A and B are shown apart, each in its own frame.
Chain A
Amino acid sequence: MASSDGEAVVELKIPGKPEYVGVARLAILGVASRMRFSYDEVEDIRLAVGEACTTAIERAASAQSPSPEVRVRCMIDPTRLVVEVTDNNVGSATPLEPTAAAESVLEERSLGGVLIRILMDDVQISQESDTAPHVVRMTKYVAGAAR
């Protein structure tokens, strides 16, 4: 766990296949439960990380990636939890950011991205180039902790 010396890191790598998203959710549940989050906040974090992993896996499927992997890196400190979900897929077949056409709530694809933005306090989605890994970086702050 985090100490005053700095942050603790928990990292997990899962095969980019649908049956492993549940494993990542269990791991994040373990991490978030040990921090000073409320029950609802822990559930929010679990859902957001699950959505990010799901998006990564859907990207792998649409890119027909031969050996997809998803890395979940949790950076824990007393004031916040930062989770980075990184995929190794080449290309960006399925953008997570809602496009203009996908903004309707009836558009199923954009829901994951919408959920992540609502559930977490700070979200950054980046990809340095078309062939670079896609990174979703999400932060949840511990209520009442000094930032």
Chain B
Amino acid sequence: MQLKVETRTPQEGAAVIGLEGEVDVYTSPRLKQEMVDLLNRGLVNLVVDLNAVKYLDSTGLGVLIGGLKRARERDGDLRLICDNMRILRIFEITGLTKIFDIDRSEADALAKLK
């Protein structure tokens, strides 16, 4: 299974990156590139929707951490959407729930962006 990356811009200055499939060492460079491109276009408030992600490994976590750092350097933010227990567990066991803001729905995530 590959990774599908689809970005929408539902509100000004913010982009929602919808991911579907597996985020691993093979596919995560595409997510990284997408985030870098959006940030370079001035879309510094990013929401990454993980609800259709079937598999996420440390490479994918690393790319999300990098995206969060880059967004904050530009006075933006990166929030996650996830209600998949399996994926949430990976954030919990790595302690990354302390670093990421994770919402259950896109509406929540967009409302909480600065």
Interface hit among B11-19, B44-52, B75-83, B93-101 = B93-101
Instruction: Say if the beta carbon of B110 comes within 8 Å of chain A.
Output: no
Interface hit among A87-95, A108-116, A133-141 = A108-116
Known pairs A43-B86, A51-B57; A108 contacts B65 (CB<8 A): yes
Known pairs A47-B90, A105-B96; A111 contacts B61 (CB<8 A): yes
Cβ–Cβ < 8 Å partners of B59 in chain A: 54, 112
Q: Does B94 lie within 8 Å of A105, measured CB to CB?
A: yes
Size of the chain B interface, CB-CB below 8 angstroms:
21
Q: Does A114 lie within 8 Å of B94, measured CB to CB?
A: yes
Instruction: Say if the beta carbon of B58 comes within 8 Å of chain A.
Output: yes
The residue in chain A whose Cβ has the minimal distance to the Cβ of B56 is: A47
Instruction: Say if the beta carbon of A50 comes within 8 Å of chain B.
Output: yes
Instruction: Say if the beta carbon of B62 comes within 8 Å of chain A.
Output: yes
Interface size range on A against B: 20 to 34
Cβ–Cβ < 8 Å partners of B24 in chain A: 18, 21-22, 50, 54
Cβ–Cβ < 8 Å partners of B57 in chain A: 47, 50-51, 54, 112, 115
Nearest chain B CB to A126's CB is how many angstroms away? Answer: 21
Q: Does B26 lie within 8 Å of A112, measured CB to CB?
A: no
Of B1, B66, B95, B96, which contacts A22 at CB under 8 A?
Answer: B1
Q: Using a CB-CB cutoff of 8 Å, which residues 102-132 of chain A contact chain B?
A: 105-106, 108-109, 111-112, 114-115, 118-119
Which residues of A come within 8 Å of B, CB atoms? Answer: 18-19, 21-22, 25, 40, 43, 46-47, 50-51, 54, 57-58, 105-106, 108-109, 111-112, 114-115, 118-119
7 cross-chain CB contacts under 8 A: A51-B57, A57-B25, A108-B62, A111-B61, A112-B58, A118-B93, A119-B93
Which residues of B come within 8 Å of A, CB atoms? Answer: 1, 22, 24-26, 55, 57-59, 61-62, 65-66, 86, 90, 93-96, 98-99
